[in-house]
Chain A
Amino acid sequence: RKEVEQDPGPFNVPEGATVAFNCTYSNSASQSFFWYRQDCRKEPKLLMSVYSSGNEDGRFTAQLNRASQYISLLIRDSKLSDSATYLCVVTRWNRDDKIIFGKGTRLHILP
């Protein structure tokens, strides 16, 4: 089983719709979780850190479920500019240092 898994998509979603995708991780010792966004042929940029209590930033909501070992990203009222690849990132350190990027989920927002 891969350490971090994401549905590669693509998710084709009409503008204004709500879309959600998950990322599962296999190592329960994982400590920090992030969602990054990557536009075509560009560098990744941090979208959100993910906290146990869940966090929201405008139209974006991220959740962490440690019991089931997954994180989620919800995008409400999607915009054309949300079209990108969304990368899940899982890290742990102090003994077994690891930073694992998921392969990404491609999202296409349709006009």
Chain B
Amino acid sequence: NAGVTQTPKFQVLKTGQSMTLQCAQDMNHNSMYWYRQDPGMGLRLIYYSASEGTTDKGEVPNGYNVSRLNKREFSLRLESAAPSQTSVYFCASSDRAPLGNEQFFGPGTRLTVL
């Protein structure tokens, strides 16, 4: 059981470039989430998917898009990266209720936008 996996682990982009962060879970969880963590800001929810086929905005969705490809995979896309998107990105999953249950996190992607 790998739990939640994320790729890549590190990425450097130039302003305006695009990229997709990949996330997969093997726990058969219904709900998946994307967060960003910045120094002094705590984790902030970008988007979440309560179940396959649905996605909802979180606290800081601007500049991002998501795709719930299937039950296992939930990707996060930056269409035109900006320096303000430099952050650590965590994917998480949980079963049952979308926001009221334990979340399992992936190891994170450290993104720098120059």
Contact = CB atoms under 8 A, between A and B. Distances in A.
Interface of A: 31-32, 34, 42-46, 49, 87, 91-93, 97-99, 101-104
Given A101-B44, A103-B42, A93 B103 contact: no
Contact of B99 (A32, A46, A103, A104): A32
A42 to B, nearest CB: 7
Contact of A93 (B45, B100, B106): B100
A10 to B, nearest CB: 14
Given A43-B108, A44-B90, A46-B103, A103 B97 contact: no
Given A97-B56, A102-B42, A103-B42, A92 B107 contact: no
Contacts of A92: 99
A43 B106 contact: yes
B100 A101 contact: no
Interface of B: 33, 35, 40-45, 48, 56, 58-59, 90, 97-108
A65 B56 CA distance: 30
List the 6 closest A-B pairs by CB distance, nearest first: A43-B105, A103-B42, A101-B43, A32-B100, A91-B99, A93-B99
A102 B58 CA distance: 16
A47 to B, nearest CB: 10
Contact of A43 (B40, B58, B99, B107): B107
A59 B32 CA distance: 31
